[in-house]
Chain A
Amino acid sequence: MDRVEGAVTTRRRFLAGAAAAGAAALAGRAPAVLGQPARELHVWHTEVEPQTVRTIQETSIAEFERKFPGFKVRQQALGWGDLNTKLLAAIAAGNPPDLTHLNPFMTASLYTKGLLRPMDELVRAIGEKDIHPAVRTLQLFDGKYYGVTHAMGAIFICERRDLREQKKLKPVETYDDLVTLAAALTEDGRRWGITIPGEKLYMGFTFPAEWLASNGGSWVDPKTWRPQLRSKAMLETLEFLQRLNRSMPPSWAGQKYLDTLAALATGKVAMIYLSGARTIGYIERYAPEGLRDPDHFQPMFKPRGPSGHKGISSLDGENWAVFSQSRYPDEAFEFLRIFYKREHYLKYCHSVPIHLSPIFTPMLGDPEYLAHPRIRKWRSWHDFMMAGLKAERFLPIGFSRPDDKLVPFLAELDGSGIVADLIVEVMVGGKSPATEAERAQRRAEELLTQLGFKRWS
């Protein structure tokens, strides 16, 4: 009995102690729980580099929190490939972030579902006419802006220029040129001519969009939205890819984007099909001494196909967007005004130079922007992007034509992996392009019908 009473007393003491500890913990969270509501502005973005996260914290977030005491900004940097899935889960749960990056091919999908807020006032406030034409109207639907690009970075082939010149070959213009160059630069057992990342988002969506755009094709028929996966443009592309595959490492389909950067830097491959300014970081860290410069590593425009007029590359540039469900939309827009303030925006773009190029045309040629040491050293890469913008050789990631911004199911098409399977079966599996294209066409038509987007008969 004493033992039982002692146990009861001990239990009571424990519960009392736990309650006291809990109360102390709550009181310690001043002032949030003591009558002053702590409001949090949730901001998601895809720039995961630590220096970029730090820059945002120290510039835009610091100023915002000074201007809006009682608000805390919670930034979350998500991997690019994770963004869509996490965002959709958050939307489904009714709890999306207040402000987020979106892939441009996602934006139309969310706009048509009424999930986004217009931001015309913001765009005018930050200088609508200064925004580069390549990105200004990407999120313009029914005369209103539903997004604004955070920064832009060109994607292109990166080559070992010195190796190409040793073979006395010119930069590629056509599919055949690339096959020839890749074969010439392949040294059995030592080096492969070219590689591409095997991730679905790239080889199953980003590159097929480029290939279609470079070969006179498109994802869907503009009027009926019928998929065009067995079109002449696609079949010619698949045949080109089967030939190119002979000069690629056999494990390419298992490699990720960063693996390909490392392979280029360390000389395992002579070219990579997907390269942005992040490649510079790998070159400077892993390439042999004496090679870490733009004379050895140079960007190259993507080639055109036999039915195309010019090679098209992707322009990497997610757009900021505010959801209809956002709890603090006004504050989200205010945050963006601060984000785009010149002094903050310059630091943001400088956190990963060239990869984060400003969206404002005047800033692209601004001496203060160009004075960054990395931009000075790799100036030719910046100039290359400027030349591509001028020649209109870029489309947003996943777009096969400019009006793909109006197609509301690109996210679902990307997610389905139908095109990724097609590419892999043809390149890795060695299967017949025509047969696999027919199969992919059937699957895509089934998918769009299931999703309610069938307009063709």
Chain B
Amino acid sequence: MAPSLLLVGGLILYPIAYNLWLSLFDKHAFLPAQTFVGLGNYRYFATDPEFWSSVWYGTVYAASTIVLQLVLGVLAALLLNEGFRGRTLLRGVVLFPYMIPTIVAVILWKWLLNDSYGLVNSVLVGADLVRVPPAWLGRDWIMWSLIVTSVWQFFPFVVVTYLARLQTIPPELYEAATVDGAGAGRRFLHVTLPQTRSVLFVIVLLRSIWMFTKFDTVWLMAGEGGVGRYIRTLPVYAYSRTFTYLQAGMGATLAVLMFGLLVGATAVYFGLFRDEEAV
């Protein structure tokens, strides 16, 4: 019991408590001196336009990627649940994006989307679909490019999780539905979806938390300057406040606010959908 308490306390409770404590101070990132400001940092961010824009960008990013991951992941899982030649190989291949390091995935997509040398524009211009190559990594498209990169990298998680659940659905349910005259669509709606509701609940919950707190993909896509401005999500802003503004207290405050937002959203999510689960 004691070692696990030590582990939980040391690795989880202490960092959270220290972060909370730090958020009450005005503290330079590397100077030891600090000044107690109480809720001053929180009051500052309540009216900080940068904070609200980062919440907005984070919400757009998380919501868009989750919806697309779900759609793509569920479709892929349904397909991979059917029997066909090469299915085993394809099941392995579909995992590839999830297995490669994020830095590799981002570099790959940045090269594909490069407006001067990228394959995507090469194909579009070559096929006469566009006259002027779109600036996929420019202001107008950077959020979409980020979403596409993230969906590509993380939809395999949905595939694997959903496919595992699909494979435990008793085939008799589908047979009965078929006998009753249900087509593929109705079988999905009335058999597959109800049977997989619980796993979808968990997938959406986990992916939401992970996408809202994602730092590496966003940071690698555009860094801090230039177009980074237009995808500056809350984790990136918290990092900036701590390590580039050199305001560790403010960075800690943003982390607490992010935690609070996620707890609130999770509570709402559970409130809306958990009762349906119980039924």
Contacts and interface: CB of A to CB of B under 8 A. Distances in A.
A415 B244 contact: yes
B224 A203 contact: no
A420 B135 contact: no
Given A253-B227, A415-B246, A429 B139 contact: yes
B91 interface: no
Interface string A226-257: 00000000000000000000000111111100
A250 B246 contact: no
Contacts of B228: 200
Contacts of B154: none
A414 B225 CA distance: 11
Q: Is the interface of B mostly helix, strand, loop or mixed?
A: loop
Interface residues of A, number: 39
Contacts, number: 103
A13 B87 CA distance: 46
Nearest to A201: B225
A434 to B, nearest CB: 17
A25 interface: no
Q: Contact residue range for chain B? A: 20 to 34
A331 interface: no
Nearest to A196: B226
Contact of B226 (A253, A415, A450): A253
B229 A424 contact: yes
B225 A415 contact: no
Interface stretch (A88-96, A298-306, A344-352): A88-96
Interface string B40-73: 0000000000000000000000000000000000
B273 interface: no
Given A417-B225, A420-B225, A251 B245 contact: no
Q: Is the interface of A mostly helix, strand, loop or mixed?
A: helix
A250 B29 contact: no
Max chain B C-beta neighbours (<10 A), residue from A202, A251, A252: A251
Given A92-B29, A189-B131, A412-B245, A200 B223 contact: yes
A414 B245 CA distance: 8
B29 A254 contact: no
Contacts of B240: 415-417
A263 B225 contact: no
A254 B246 contact: no
Nearest to B138: A251
Contacts of A447: 245
Contact of A200 (B26, B138, B225): B225
Given A88-B29, A250-B135, A254-B222, 14 more contacts: A89-B30, A89-B243, A199-B226, A200-B223, A200-B224, A200-B228, A251-B115, A251-B116, A263-B116, A415-B243, A415-B244, A420-B225, A424-B227, A447-B245
A-B pairs, top 8 by smallest CB distance, nearest first, are A200-B225, A198-B226, A415-B244, A254-B137, A253-B226, A251-B135, A92-B30, A250-B135
18 contacts: A92-B30, A199-B223, A200-B226, A250-B138, A250-B139, A252-B226, A254-B142, A263-B116, A415-B240, A415-B243, A415-B246, A417-B240, A417-B245, A420-B226, A420-B229, A428-B138, A447-B245, A450-B247
Interface of A: 85, 88-89, 91-92, 113, 189, 198-204, 249-255, 263, 266, 268, 411-412, 414-417, 420-421, 424-425, 428-429, 447, 450-451
